[in-house]
A and B are shown apart, each in its own frame.
Chain A
Amino acid sequence: MSDDDKERGGAPDPLAPLADLARAWADAGPQHPGGPGAWAELDAGLTRQVRRRRAQWALAGALGLVLVAAAGRGVWLRHQRLTYAIEGADARTDGYIPRVVEPLARVRFSDGSEVGLEHGSRAWVVATGADGAQLRLEDGRAHFAVVHRPHAHWTVEAGPFVVSVTGTKFDVEWSGTNDRLRVHLRSGVVTVGGPQTRGGVTLLPGQVLEARPDEGILRVEPAPADPPAPPLRGAPLEKASPTAAPSATSPSAAAPPLTSPPPAVPGPAGEPAPPPPPAADPRLLHAAPVRPRALALAGAPVAAGFGSDWRAEIARGEFEPILHEAAARGTESCLRSLPSDRLAVLGDAARYGGQTDLARRVLQAQRARFPGSSAAAEATFLLGRLAEDAHEPGSVALPWYERYLKEAPTGVYAAEALGRQMLILGGRANDQRAREIARKYLEGYPRGAYVAQAREILEGAP
């Protein structure tokens, strides 16, 4: 029985004669019909096939090269760090803009984004990356036009707040003196993170966020009729109304600047005056805060354990977390409630972190709350150093040093205070008092750090 028969369960194939006939017909045909001509044709076909395959490989290779080149260019562009140029302000090489003297300074980035800094602002282009930049507005008002790109990520730090941006136009105003933030979103979306924002507040176009972390106030409301932002290159902003009174380069009229006057400068003879309390902003005082819990926290004394790990943090050089923690808790609360040692650490963190105004307030709180203590005396000396570091006139620092020498004549900073006094006065020609201090310094500290300067003052005397 054949396989065919098995497939049919043993029955013979009734169609087998037809299949046999077909096979016979096929076998009867010419078995080699082509001959040499057929081989030549096949050979030509094989040659064409090889050529075609080579051409296909070449085409695929060229296409691959083009794709690789395009991808490489994309990757290169993707990882190319943004560059920027600052116009209208003297900037340090590290991107710090100490103070804008011109009506408007511009920071132009290579991706087309642009930042306008108004007169008096202080800002810092902290870092740039392939996807954006990190900026810090230390004081004043800035207008941003960030070009929207895939993966774009820009951050603008203003005090304890961080505005996260992907591509948009907005204005940021920050008063480092009063810890007040104002963000006006003109288009796009931004997220503002910081104290009381609980992970971030997202703003929509036409909204304004105003925050006073010290007072626990955080508010989002429709934008008032702000003047148009200055025309920036990043993208066309709203057309400036011809009737708008204030120009783009002048301070806002509709939204008064939040920056309050600088703290009073102590006179040479009197007790240094503490900075005036923050000016009340009626818009904020009458506004209902969006974070009732934040208001409840504001002004409340800090917990006993709050800041207990600050000393270890500052020993590790981590002062930013301390500042953020204090800002989040409310600076005023900290100033009112923190014990002396933690207040001293907060003051150090503020000084190391470049927050001069906060440092000054902490030191003054230390003096006011713990008078007669060694910490209060040290705060007196440090207030003098702060004034010098801020390049304020010598008449500002001098009274602090005098006061410190009265409060702690044998304190740890006594030699330093005397030396600083001598140097400030030594700059004044033929100053009798400078010579007296120089003699006193050489008698008291013959191996001190300022011996050379003391001798120079005495030898130069008539």
Chain B
Amino acid sequence: MAVIPRLILVGKSFRGDEGDDVALAEALIRRDPQATFVAWTRLHGLAVGTLRRLAGPGNDIDDLAQEVFLRFFRYVHKLRDPKALRSFLIGICLRVVRGEMRQRWLRRFLRLTDGGDAPEPAVPARDGDGASDAREIVRRYYAILDRLSNEDRSLYVARHVERLPLTEVATLHGLSDSTARRHLLRIARRVAAMVEADPALSAYLAEEEQARRGKQTP
């Protein structure tokens, strides 16, 4: 059988040892197949940490991370600025969490799962176990945040828990800086009121304040 000569044009392939996010982004934009696994390896930790901060306890972070990366690889070739790779991933994390919160609210509304099947457990007495106390405080904190609207929760968590710069928070939510700032002040006042009404959280804040003052006074 005659061998038909073929001319195969090969572009510059992405090497996994290139540590630069910009190079990785450029490889993803030109759909270099080798860049996919490298991106997943390099960005998975960032995505998981961001998702944990944004979503809080009680969520299947693996599932959310899977959804984040499916979206990430689907749209990353549209990324215009290679320097914004991580911001692009965080934006997807935000949208996935907002979608998850929306579904959770719907399930709760339909009384299927996620708090719809049982009332919130009573606050356990602090037993001196610092780790379980901290978990409980975190759970209560996120429970309060879940009472916000989806948009407000996303804004607040992105700014105060994820600690994204105000400009980036505004951009990710499609708001101007001033509008985002105004919304955040309003949401912070509401969260503060709800925290004050929660005995465990207000006690924790009082203890933290006392400890801070104790450190300041010799």
Report A's interface with B, CB cutoff 8 A: 3-4, 7-8, 13-19, 21-27, 29-34, 38-39, 41-42, 45-46, 49
How far is B48's CA from A30's CA once the two chains are assembled, in angstroms? 8
Give residues 1-56 of B contacting A (CB, 8 Å): 36-37, 40, 44-45, 48-49, 52-53, 56
Q: CB < 8 Å: which of B62, B73, B134, B181 contacts A46?
A: B73
A-B pairs with beta carbons under 8 Å apart, 30 shown: A4-B159, A7-B166, A7-B188, A8-B185, A15-B191, A15-B205, A17-B205, A18-B137, A18-B141, A18-B201, A19-B160, A21-B138, A21-B141, A21-B204, A22-B161, A23-B53, A25-B135, A25-B138, A27-B49, A29-B49, A31-B44, A31-B48, A32-B44, A32-B45, A33-B48, A33-B65, A34-B44, A38-B62, A41-B66, A45-B66
Q: How far is the CA of A26 from the CA of B138 in the complex (A)?
A: 10
Given contacts A7-B181, A39-B40, contact A15 B192 (CB under 8 A): yes
Q: How far is the CA of A179 from the CA of B159 in the complex (A)?
A: 91
The CA of A401 and the CA of B23, in the complex, are separated in Å by 105
- Determine if B166 and A18 form an interchain contact, defined as CB atoms under 8 angstroms apart: no
- Chain B, Cβ-Cβ closest to A37: B62
A33-B48, A38-B65, A46-B70 known; A22-B141 Cβ under 8 A: yes
New A-B pairs, 13, CB < 8 Å, besides A15-B205, A21-B141, A49-B74: A18-B141, A18-B201, A19-B160, A19-B161, A21-B134, A23-B53, A23-B163, A24-B134, A32-B45, A33-B61, A39-B37, A42-B70, A45-B70
Does residue B151 face the partner (Cβ distance < 8 Å to A)?
no
Determine the distance from Cα of A408 to Cα of B175 in the docked complex, in whole angstroms: 101
Contact B45 A22 (CB under 8 A): no
Q: Which residues of A contact B44 (CB under 8 A)?
A: 31-32, 34, 38
A288 to B66, CA, bound (A): 89
Complex interface: chain A residues within 8 A of B161 (CB)? 19, 22-23, 26
Interface: B105 (CB within 8 A): no
B188 touches A13 (CB 8 A): yes
From known contacts A17-B204, A31-B45, infer whether A22 and B188 are also in contact, taking CB-CB under 8 Å: no
C-alpha gap A27/B49 in the complex (Å): 6
Q: How far is the CA of A41 from the CA of B66 in the complex (A)?
A: 8
A26 surroundings in chain B (CB, below 8 A): 49, 52-53, 161
Closest to B57 in A: A25
